[in-house]
Structure 1
């Protein structure tokens, strides 16, 4: 019985540590109304969060040099098939470099290049991948940094809709 309690306490400590780390990493991330993204997508069209109004959406910050972001690609591809997703290529080079990466990886996303990290700074990100789930009114309902399972992002989108 004592071994069982010790094991449960150990797992409780791991869970508490996880949430403490998330709180620390998320402490400076934007909250409230989502900061505007005033830039252009890779195809040259204007990038705007206004197109996302009326439905839950994700603003996803990623980088071409980030291995965790590479592991998230298929999850983002799946989400983008069902939900509004805007991705921001954080400090991954200029538009031509980002376009080359997107083509090589066969990514079919709306991508805004952020070569100098200006957009990332307005969102207060400290690392990638970073996710902001927006409600239909454009407010940030959820935010996280690091690998996030697709099912959890879908749950956050569902919660943001209500």
Structure 2
């Protein structure tokens, strides 16, 4: 006589929760990276810790380049930097270390951790200021000299790979 109204399945609840969390995370990420210029890409060039001239915009002419703003003191970077280091075996990565001390200190840190990606030590924070970067880590994907993607904070290998892949097919 009385019909039972079916409760939503657990799967639908999990999907709704996932979508809700995803939207919140994206909104937070957009707020944290809102100062990053998208129309006019700032100069991202300098001498790496290995004394090589690096120009991320030039490197991005034919393929996507990951510009990785990080710091030796950054807690989230302790999780993201090993991922970036791993990706640097197959993708172009330009690290920008900021607020981390002199070149020797950053070199010692990278050697102790086994990191080998190219890094410019932004000792006076000029590059990070030009980009409007205030949060470490911040990841920017460039292709053809243009910003294709930005994110900051914790991210996953699949998140970075997806951004690089999308930039390369655009």
Deviation at 1:21, TM superposition (A): 1.0
**Contact 1:33/1:138 (CA < 8 Å) preserved in 2?**
no
- Match runs of 1:137-156 below 5 Å: 137-156=144-163
The count of corresponding residues between Structure 1 and Structure 2 is: 161
Is 2:127 the counterpart of 1:119? yes
Q: TM-score, normalised by structure 1?
A: 0.89
Cα 1:39/1:21, change in 2 over 3 Å = same
Which sections of structure 1, spanning at least 5 residues, go unmatched? none
Deviation at 1:114, TM superposition (A): 0.8
Q: TM-score, normalised by structure 2?
A: 0.85
2:72 partner SS: coil
- Match runs of 1:5-154 below 5 Å: 11-49=18-56, 50-135=58-143, 137-154=144-161
2:76 partner SS: helix
Cα 1:153/1:6, change in 2 over 3 Å = closer
1 or 2, which has the higher helix percentage? 1
Which sections of structure 2, spanning at least 5 residues, go unmatched? 1-6
Cα 1:9/1:113, change in 2 over 3 Å = same
Q: Distance in 1 between matches of 2:161 and 2:22?
A: 21
Q: Distance in 1 between matches of 2:151 and 2:89?
A: 21
Instruction: Report Cα offsets for 1:84-129 as digits up to 9, x if no partner.
Output: 1100111101111111111111111101001222111111112011
